[in-house]
Amino acid sequence: MTRQVLCVAATTAALPAALLAADRTFDVCHVAGLAEAAAALREQHFPVGLLVLDSWTGPLTELDHFLRRHSRPRWVAMFLPQALEQAAFRQLVHDHCVDFHTWPLDAGRLSHTLGHALGLAALAGLGHLPEECQAMRLTGRSTAITLLRQQVLKVAGADAPVLIWGESGTGKELVARAIHEHSGRSNGPFVPINCGAIPASLVQSELFGYEKGAFTGAGPGKCGLIESASGGSIFLDEIGDLPLELQANLLRFLQEKTIYRVGGTRSVPVDARVIAASHVKLGDAVERGHFREDLFYRLNVLTLQVPALRERRDDVVPLAEEVFHSYATERARRVRGFSNSALRALRAHDWPGNVRELLNRVRRAAVMADGALIQPHDLELDGFDSAAIAEDLDTARASAERLTLQGRIDAGHSITSVARELGVSRMTLYRLMAKHGIQRPSRRGED
């Protein structure tokens, strides 16, 4: 477990001996002021933060705003005893810190507090995520999302078109941005286009631009979205919604790397990588005549599938925590996190709306919750069937029990040896066999 601690002080010139002693136990990064602290937190994640406030002279609202924006670390405050005389200061420490110390400092207690805070961070799953996960902002450690991150890194190194498939709300644009940011085009523009959101009458001019006087009301010539992505990547989201007549123009661009503006007579070279996405399987759309087969094969060079949230349930809670901390400035001051029942409800839900649904539920709950901890009803998940979950666990337990018994009996083990291996009496074993409908072995193998 990482033992990194970010120490924020007004100045690092004269830190107390007790704090410097912590450097020998923990990996402490010392920064001066909130601006440096914010910069350090943008660079990497620190599970624990230490605020040295004995010489804080700024307004408490500034400190409150900083802590609300950076609520992921477990914060420990250090200040002079008289600061507790201020009600606003007490409230701030209560709202944002897991513990506090006053002068004179006790080195032993400080070390214990930091260790406890690190433990809390680890229990909450706030440990240091893999570097590629931070860079991509693809949160999670499930097998599905780990494989996706690996595939993104491979695909990013090429320059061929990419086709991303996934259900609505799975985060296809996030994957497209990750591909761009890890590619050789990362210094160029990333231009996202929702093909289903542009009115059909404007799609041609929006994508390819137009020349002056190309149509009634056209002003000076305008660069299209594809042209504006030159040197970078263009993301065509929901490309299956692109009208058939425009699919031919897009095919020409993919083949020749040139476009024609509306009303134009000269070709315009465009060096942009195309990343497309759809919640509809384009192969099926081709069979129905809704998508050009030649365009499909041009796009279907490098393919990625974004897993649905129900296929990566281990990531639900880390994602919820990520959303909770990302929108810290929106949430009610009193709300600190999720109750155990809320976490169970999050894990039990099927998430038909995928990550987008999770984001909306958590943001709403963080604003509307009445208590310090978000409850299932705040997430509008109070109808989840805990009894059904318990029943599923009982079913799984019974199935494992039956398979174990059947496997030992089928292997020719005697009743005596099976009972001994399982640590039960022969009579108990007979009852279990009767419960699961397992036949007793022949008399020769019974003893």
The whole-number pLDDT of residue 349 equals 92
* Contact (CB, 8 A) for 52 and 28: no
The whole-number pLDDT of residue 48 equals 87
Among 48-62, 208-222, 249-263, which stretch is predicted with the lowest mean pLDDT?
A: 208-222
Determine which helix (DSSP H) or strand (DSSP E) holds 373, and give its type and residue range: strand 373-374
Q: What is the DSSP string of 30-80?
A: EEEHHHHHHHHHHHS--SEEEEE-TT--S-HHHHHHHHHHT-SSEEEEEE-
Q: What is the mean pLDDT of the chain?
A: 80
Q: Going from the N-terminus, what domains does the chain have, and what CATH number goes with each?
A: 4-123 (3.40.50.2300), 133-305 (3.40.50.300), 310-374 (1.10.8.60), 386-445 (1.10.10)
The whole-number pLDDT of residue 115 equals 82
Task: Tell me the pLDDT tens digit for each residue of 80-124.
Answer: 888 888 888 888 888 788 888 887 777 778 888 888 888 777 766
Task: Tell me the pLDDT tens digit for each residue of 290-334.
Answer: 899 999 999 998 999 999 999 988 889 888 888 887 777 777 777
The whole-number pLDDT of residue 387 equals 45
Q: Is the pLDDT of residue 204 over 60?
A: yes
- Alpha carbon 92 to chain centroid distance? 29
Between CA 355 and CA 316 the distance in angstroms is 9
Structure tokens at 79: 């200040």
Task: Tell me the pLDDT tens digit for each residue of 166-198.
Answer: 998 898 999 999 999 899 898 899 999 888 777
How much is the average pLDDT of 27-36? Answer: 84
Q: Is the pTM of this model over 0.85?
A: no
The whole-number pLDDT of residue 368 equals 87
Name the residue with higher pLDDT: 210 or 213.
210
Task: Tell me the pLDDT tens digit for each residue of 121-150.
Answer: 776 654 444 333 334 467 778 888 888 988
Name the residue with higher pLDDT: 210 or 393.
210
Tokens 């599970």: give the residue.
47
The whole-number pLDDT of residue 395 equals 59
The whole-number pLDDT of residue 296 equals 92
Confidence band (pLDDT; 50, 70, 90) for 52?
confident
The whole-number pLDDT of residue 388 equals 45
Query: Which strands, in side-by-side order, build the sheet including 273-278?
Result: 190-194, 233-237, 273-278, 162-165, 302-305
Task: Tell me the pLDDT tens digit for each residue of 9-25.
Answer: 876 555 666 666 666 67
Name the residue with higher pLDDT: 123 or 157.
157
Task: Tell me the pLDDT tens digit for each residue of 227-245.
Answer: 888 899 999 999 988 888 7
Among 127-136, 192-201, 243-252, 393-402, which stretch is predicted with the lowest mean pLDDT?
A: 127-136
Strand ranges for 131-283 from DSSP E = 162-165, 190-194, 233-237, 258-259, 268-269, 273-278
